[in-house]
Amino acid sequence: MADLMSGKTVLVTGGTGGIGKATAVGLAALGARVGVTGRDRARAERAAADIRAASGNDAVDVFIAELSSQAEVRRLAADVLQAYPRLDVLVNNVGGFWAHRHLTADGLERTFALNHLAPFLLTNLLLDRVKQSAPARIVTVSSGAQAMGKIDFDDLMSERKYSGQRAYNQSKLANVMFTYELARRLDGTGVTATVLHPGVVRTAFGAEDPTAMMGALTFAARPFMKTPERGAATAIHLASSPDVEGVTGRYFANRKPKTSNRSSYDTAAAARLWQASADLVGLNAHVQP
């Protein structure tokens, strides 16, 4: 098992803490070369040192980017393409929750921008390299909150009325719909796309902009939450296990395929979301996979 991922190169976004860091440790322990992204270089370098020590694998690289910024996503993609001649697995893990509405450097609502548009753009920018590395995998971390999500095409940026929970639910449903549409577009390429719910995990999730109620609920629920290591198990499984070789366009929880939000199976809505996302990040949707 220790060499299951030997010779493979993996990128984990948001790999400096929580589920992302635990995912990086797990994949590095299986022998992969692992790149992690973070916003702060000192923190990212400390995390990389921790990952090396915990996994016994020195092949851990650091990339710095604020993924809510499209310019930084593009710079990150360029850095990754320069560093890695092959990319066998992309784990889109980065995400967040904000109780209040914030705008990014691009003037977009932060939850949708970071949780959905960042992985959408990064995946598209790295896709040729991933396809050249086939068989390869794209794994996106969603949330059980996708079940409560609704894509409001008339107000994707939550300008009319903002609710942190509603914005989060929408972004996590967008992760699922993006994955299903990506899987359809990648049919026959040898690249699979899967999406997962990691479980309710003890992390610093929502800490940048919490509500009093959320803080109290989190504190009360903390003893019942998964450790980051257990939360990372499904992502590690989807990134590495021979059991899911060739499995694509599926939603997983606890390493098992599950049914997602009914609206996530609406192929017309997924295609519409792809086009809207491509417009928001300045990609030509018609030349994408």
What domains lie within the chain, and their CATH numbers?
9-287 (3.40.50.720)
Which residues neighbour 229 within 8 Å (Cβ) at sequence distance 6 or greater? Answer: 22, 25, 26
The dihedrals phi and psi of 142, each to the nearest 5 degrees, come to -105, -140
Is residue 284 helix, strand or coil? Answer: coil
What pLDDT score does 284 carry? 77
Task: Share the mean pLDDT of the chain.
Answer: 91
User: What is residue 201's DSSP assignment?
Assistant: B
User: Among the listed ranges 121-125, 222-226, 232-236, which one has the minimum average pLDDT value?
Assistant: 222-226
The dihedrals phi and psi of 221, each to the nearest 5 degrees, come to -85, -10
pLDDT for 101-146, tens place per residue?
A: 999 999 999 999 999 999 999 999 999 999 999 999 999 999 999 9
> Does residue 251 have an active-site annotation?
no
Q: What is the rounded average pLDDT of the residues 197-207?
A: 60
Please, which residues bridge with residue 226 across strands? Answer: 201
- Check whether 50 has a pLDDT greater than 70: yes
Q: Is 192 left (phi over 0), alpha (psi -120 to 50) or beta?
A: beta
Sign of the CA dihedral 95, 286, 73, 14? Answer: positive
What pLDDT score does 207 carry? 44
- Check whether 90 has a pLDDT greater than 50: yes
Nearest to 177 by CA among 198, 157, 150, 156: 150
Paired tokens of 265: 């199976």
Reported as a pLDDT band with limits 50, 70 and 90, residue 223 is: very low
- Out of 84, 162, 168, 265, which one is annotated catalytic? 168
Reported as a pLDDT band with limits 50, 70 and 90, residue 211 is: low
- Check whether 161 has a pLDDT greater than 80: yes
Give, for 128, the enclosing helix (H) or strand (E): helix 118-132
E strands, 39-168, are: 60-64, 89-92, 136-141
What pLDDT score does 288 carry? 63
CA–CA distances in Å: residue 183 to residues 7, 90, 130, 228: 24, 14, 13, 27
User: What is residue 227's DSSP assignment?
Assistant: P
CA distance 258 to 9: 28
Q: What is the rounded average pLDDT of the residues 44-59?
A: 98
Is residue 155 helix, strand or coil? Answer: coil
What pLDDT score does 199 carry? 79
